[in-house]
Structure 1
Amino acid sequence: MKVFAHRGYSGRYPENTMLAFRKAAETGCDGIELDVQLTKDGTVVVIHDESIDRTTDGTGFVKDLTYEELRKYNGDAVCGGIHGFEPVPSFEEYCIWAKDQDLITNIEIKTGVYYYEGLEEKTLELVGRYGLEDKVIFSSFNHTSISRLKELAPQIRCGALLDHPGLGNAGYYCDKYDFQCYHPGVKGLTKDAVDNCRRYGIQVNVWTVNDMAALEQVYEWGCDGVITNFPEVCKRWVQSKEL
């Protein structure tokens, strides 16, 4: 079972920063999950919320700030600035780093609240520019976005991201729309849902698995991956089970 670091090593470091990604890689995890949005001037950036208020010392919406303006704010402010200055990274900055890492990147397209014009195309172009096509999975709560990505690049791996409690007959749904993965929330996930995905050859990557009981359960059910804030703990546990 693969371990994905949720927004990087977000259990210990400021989420969706290059520091969190580098620290996640040091744990030996299999992949990194991150979120992308567009600035006012069309730069693809890595940030979860549509607003910068929660994750930086600034205020405002990503869509209303230029990339230069966004870079002035410190993502480590939520950690008291103990790690120094950690700006919101561009997705290109991440790709330059990731191309030399043995990691899978789960890219969540954040179009569920505000539909960014051209976000799918811009993100896919950067993935191609840095040769990451075989090292990414795209996902989104807005399945229109992942359908658009399949139109643009039929070979790209995509996952249907679902909130709790998920979707009935998810394996059939993903197979019908050529989504290779199903990404359900751990709360409410059942063995029947996992088995249904197995029936259709769909991989199941579960979010956000942050306690041992949940980790043990999804492992027992045969899930393919877990997305966690604590990749070091999860990776060590999975390795111990697979020895």
Structure 2
Amino acid sequence: MTYIFGHRGSAGTHPENTMISFQETERAGADGIELDVQLTKDGEVIIIHDEKVDRTTDGKGYINNLLLKDIKKLNAGAKFQNGQFKAEIPTLNEFFEWFKGTNLFVNIEFKTKSISNYELEEKTVAMVKKNKLEERVIFSSFNHYSLVYCYRLAPEIETAPLYAEGLFMPWIYAQSIRAKGIHPNYRVIPDELITLSQNHGIKVRPYTVNQDEDIKRFLNCNTHAIITDFPKKAKELKTV
């Protein structure tokens, strides 16, 4: 069985990384949500992809230069489909309050380049533990130092490295950093590597799988999960 994860919620149909996008993912019958976390200037964990608010909101500036109270004034739906949606940038705490009442999984991606400052990871792990969500959370990042740090902090929470180039024997690399999964760009994971990785106990969850033929390919390979901007469409293709 292949799980469906909504990329930044249902980013193809609703403003990415907002509560309305996450709620749409649940309505679509998906199995999980993928989202991105960063720290504000005052150290709050918020859900947003870019380093700046410019692309997705009606504001400007770097996240780490903005206070939460100012970020909360922005409309995270302003740039999506002619601004027909209005939505706040959510905190991770706000997300968890809703998420606890669902049966979904969540893949939390750390948007960080640091290999020495792990405040974001520490705060996120503490929130997961406080809410007793260890079994429903996966940590991912392009910063694999971040994932190793998380494993040391909380070995019971699954980690999965993100990568965009081909890897030789990716299951060996995953095992070397104690990861239980890999999250490759969908273009760099051929069918054989999916089978080999999963036969070695490493779950494969490619991103961002949006085209019908690609969704069908990963379904046919019994890929553990796909991460897609269109969870409703993926769910429909899965049930055909």
Provide TM-score, normalisation by structure 1: 0.94
Task: Report 1:123-142 matches (<5 A).
Answer: 123-142=124-143
User: C-alpha deviations, 1:180-215, integer Å up to 9, x for none?
Assistant: 001000113212321331232100001000001111
Structure 1 contact 175–200 (Cα < 8 Å) conserved: no
Counterpart of 2:150? 149
Counterpart of 1:189? 189
User: C-alpha deviations, 1:162-188, integer Å up to 9, x for none?
Assistant: 11x331110111112210001000113
Which range moves more in the overlay, 180-189 or 34-43? 180-189
Question: Residue 85 of structure 2: which of 64, 83, 86 is its match?
Answer: 83
Q: Which runs of 5 or more residues in structure 1 are unaligned?
A: none
Counterpart of 1:65? 66
In structure 2, the residue corresponding to 1:69 is in which secondary structure?
A: helix
In structure 2, the residue corresponding to 1:33 is in which secondary structure?
A: strand
Counterpart of 2:42? 41
How big is the shift at 1:115? Answer: 7.3
CA distance in 2, matches of 1:115, 1:237: 43
Counterpart of 1:201? 201
How big is the shift at 1:39? Answer: 0.2
Structure 1 contact 37–116 (Cα < 8 Å) conserved: no
User: C-alpha deviations, 1:91-119, integer Å up to 9, x for none?
Assistant: 10001110111100000011137976400
User: C-alpha deviations, 1:134-186, integer Å up to 9, x for none?
Assistant: 111000000000000000011111101111x3311101111122100010001
Provide TM-score, normalisation by structure 2: 0.95
Q: Which amino acid aligns with 1:139?
A: S
Percent of pairs with identical residues: 38
Structure 2 contact 28–231 (Cα < 8 Å) conserved: yes
In structure 1, the residue corresponding to 2:43 is in which secondary structure?
A: coil
Q: Which runs of 5 or more residues in structure 2 are unaligned?
A: none
In structure 2, the residue corresponding to 1:75 is in which secondary structure?
A: coil
Q: Which amino acid aligns with 1:58?
A: G
Q: Which amino acid aligns with 1:57?
A: D
Q: Which amino acid aligns with 1:51?
A: K
Structure 2 contact 56–76 (Cα < 8 Å) conserved: yes
CA distance in 2, matches of 1:9, 1:32: 9
Q: Which amino acid aligns with 1:81?
A: G
User: C-alpha deviations, 1:22-49, integer Å up to 9, x for none?
Assistant: 1111011000000000000000000000
User: C-alpha deviations, 1:30-89, integer Å up to 9, x for none?
Assistant: 0000000000000000000011110101110001001111111101101233123x1110
Counterpart of 1:32? 33
How many positions carry a matched residue from both structures?
238
Q: Which amino acid aligns with 2:183?
A: H
Counterpart of 2:159? 158
Q: Which amino acid aligns with 1:193?
A: L
Structure 1 contact 33–106 (Cα < 8 Å) conserved: yes
CA distance in 2, matches of 1:20, 1:116: 30
In structure 1, the residue corresponding to 2:156 is in which secondary structure?
A: coil
